Amino acid sequence: MPRAYIAGTGHYAPPNVVTNQDLVDKFKIDTTNEWIVQRTGIEQRHFAGDGVGPSDLGYEATQMALSRAGLTAADVDFIVFATLSPEHAFPGSGCYLQAKLGIPGVPAMDIRNQCSGFLYALAAAKGLVETGMSKTCLVVGGERHSSGLDLTTEGRQIACLFGDGAGAVVLRATSDEDFEKGRGIRWMNLGADGRFADALSQKVWDNRHAPFIPKDPVTGKGIVEKEKLWCQMDGKQVFKNAVEKMILSVMGMCMENQIEPADLDLVVCHQANLRINEYVRDQLGLSPEKVPNNIQRYGNTTAATIPILLSELEADGRLKRGMKVALVAFGSGFTWGSAYVVW
């Protein structure tokens, strides 16, 4: 059986940069650059313009990934799109992306696993490629968070964390030669603990009740209480579990693959909080060069963080053929995952 390998990476962030100081000056949020940098490492994020959805961001990232792989949209035979901020409740962003790429008939599926979404999508795509169901599988993580943030002082705990962006990778099956050299996604592990489902959630519509959004009896319009309109998060609970699960996930990955953390050339972590990643890095005993971050410039782009970082690392030469790379993520659900990739 061939192995799936990443043939190309790409990323895109909308041009509008919002600094921490902009949150204070333009949005009148009672916060400071110092507070945000000290607690999260974030210095700025990108916000998309009106009318731009995750599939638009994903389209741009896809163009870069395909061009770097030496392919065109016509080569894509499967789309897996990870997002927690799809254009609409349904259909999925993958279908919108497929239409924009002009490849009718190509299957498109959405994965809704939040900050672990990219790794869940990668696992699904890996299976499709390994079993021969897909020869060129596009895996995209794309988010438009800015429209779902309470950009007021009341929402500041969450509003300062998230940004918009997309990353894409193209998965293909290894040639015999690459297979012999060990190239490809060697191993993946996914996990979830639904007991913590409410610790990080957005319940803007609630299908347990009819109608799923309460209706104003006079106007007939839907009314969403602000607790349901905006994401709710137990930040400390998320932080604690993220650190624990990410470390355990990488350690387990090393054990299963009979390598030491020090054998890894790069550990590419989900970008939720610089402090989380620094803690994970220190516990694994790795140098800062081996655990790169770009949360400073993008904030948390959820399903897009890992492919954006991979794309930047590949472009500036820090990620090279033959490197041993770990990917690791943790997020709402709780969900988590890791991958061991020989680049």
* 115 binding ligand UT7? (CB under 6 A): yes
For ligand UT7, which stretch binds (CB under 6 A), given 95-103, 209-217, 237-245, 254-262?
A: 237-245
Between 181 and 240, name the residue whose CB sits nearer to ligand UT7: 240
DSSP element (H, E) containing 23: helix 20-25
Between 79 and 272, name the residue whose CB sits nearer to ligand UT7: 272
* 301 binding ligand UT7? (CB under 6 A): no
Among 76, 185, 253, 272, binds ligand UT7 (CB under 6 A): 272
Reduced to 3 states (helix: H, G, I; strand: E, B; else coil), residue 141 is: strand
* 31 binding ligand UT7? (CB under 6 A): yes
CB 227 within 8 A of CB 280: no
Could you tell me the CA-to-CA distances from 176 to 2, 34, 122, 247, 323 in Å, in that order? 8, 52, 22, 34, 19
Closest CA to 129 of 8, 4, 1, 7: 4
Between 157 and 201, name the residue whose CB sits nearer to ligand UT7: 157
Site track 241-260 with ligand UT7 (rule: CB under 6 A), x = hit: -x------------------
Least CB distance from residue 307 to ligand UT7, whole Å? 15
> Going by C-beta distance under 8 Å and a sequence separation of 6 or more, which residues neighbour residue 70?
8
Least CB distance from residue 275 to ligand UT7, whole Å? 7
Site track 189-218 with ligand UT7 (rule: CB under 6 A), x = hit: ------------------------------
CA dist 152 and 27 (Å) reads: 7
Q: Which token pair is 113?
A: 């696993």
Least CB distance from residue 235 to ligand UT7, whole Å? 2
DSSP element (H, E) containing 41: none
| Strand pairing report for 200-201 and 232-233 | antiparallel
Q: Catalytic residue among 95, 115, 137, 160, which? A: 115
DSSP structure class, residue 13: -
* 160 binding ligand UT7? (CB under 6 A): yes
Among 156, 281, 290, 297, binds ligand UT7 (CB under 6 A): 156
Least CB distance from residue 273 to ligand UT7, whole Å? 4
Q: Which string of DSSP letters, residue by residue, matches 223-290?
A: ---HHHHS-EE-HHHHHHHHHHHHHHHHHHHHHHTT--GGG-SEEEE--S-HHHHHHHHHHHT--GGG
Among 2, 127, 148, 235, binds ligand UT7 (CB under 6 A): 235
* 165 binding ligand UT7? (CB under 6 A): no
* 112 binding ligand UT7? (CB under 6 A): no
Closest CA to 137 of 213, 82, 198: 82
Between 35 and 205, name the residue whose CB sits nearer to ligand UT7: 35
Provide the greatest CA pair distance for the chain: 69
Residue closest to ligand UT7 when measured from CB atoms: 235
Is 300 an active-site residue?
yes
Least CB distance from residue 160 to ligand UT7, whole Å? 4
Q: Which token pair is 15?
A: 């041009």
Q: What residues between 33 and 72 interact with ligand UT7 by CB under 6 A?
A: 35-36, 39-40
CA dist 72 and 62 (Å) reads: 10
Which residue type does 278 have?
A: E
* 236 binding ligand UT7? (CB under 6 A): yes
Strand partners, 137: 78, 171
Q: Catalytic residue among 270, 273, 277, 293, which? A: 270
CA dist 30 and 82 (Å) reads: 33
CA dist 106 and 98 (Å) reads: 7
Least CB distance from residue 159 to ligand UT7, whole Å? 7
Binding site for ligand UT7 (CB under 6 A): 31, 35-36, 39-40, 115, 156-157, 160, 235-236, 238-239, 242, 272-273, 300, 331
Task: Show which residues are catalytic.
Answer: 115, 270, 300
